């Protein structure tokens, strides 16, 4: 990959619903600051992919069959301590969401997918210097 400005935020999507993963992928790709590097449908698969891929961010559903997001969260944090975890769920604020926040995740309610995109996209490094403008050549009689 080229300079710092071209580095995209590497994201792992974790949700048992493939439709939610698809919508998140489309929104993140349209944003342009992120690259979806993997998808998982449960917590166990998410932990394995985090160990393998070391993403910058994980968008993690909390309620899934098998290992849920709250069970997977400490394992994800252990596998990749620098990875930002966004807990995404349709659950209202309560014990499960509070536990996710206590474990280091940021909680966002599922209908607010645009907020997730903005939060994850904000992890992209800023361009250290503005692009250089090309000088235009004079046109007309002054150009001669």
- Domain regions of the chain by residue span: 8-120
Average of per-residue pLDDT across 75-101: 91
Inform me whether the pLDDT recorded for 140 exceeds 80: no
Residue pLDDT, tens place only, 19-31: 989 988 998 998 8
Say if residues 63 and 102 touch (Cβ distance below 8 Å).
Answer: no
Q: What pLDDT is recorded for position 130?
A: 47
Topology annotation, domain 8-120: Rossmann fold (3.40.50)
Q: What is the pTM of this model?
A: 0.78
Query: Angle, nearest 10°, between helix axes 95-102 and 69-79?
Result: 0
């Amino acid at each position: 990959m080229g300079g710092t400005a071209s580095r995209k935020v590497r994201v792992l999507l974790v949700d048992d619903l493939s439709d939610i993963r698809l919508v998140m992928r489309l929104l993140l790709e349209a944003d342009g600051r992120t690259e979806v590097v993997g998808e998982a449908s449960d917590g166990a698969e998410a932990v394995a992919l985090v160990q393998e891929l070391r993403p910058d961010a994980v968008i993690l559903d909390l309620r899934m069959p098998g290992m849920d997001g709250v069970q997977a969260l400490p394992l994800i944090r252990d596998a990749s301590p620098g990875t930002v975890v966004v807990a995404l769920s349709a659950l209202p604020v309560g014990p499960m969401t509070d536990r996710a926040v206590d474990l280091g995740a940021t909680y966002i309610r599922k209908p607010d997918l645009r907020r997730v995109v903005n939060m994850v996209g904000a992890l992209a490094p800023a361009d250290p210097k503005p692009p250089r403008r090309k000088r235009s050549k004079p046109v007309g009689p002054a150009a001669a």
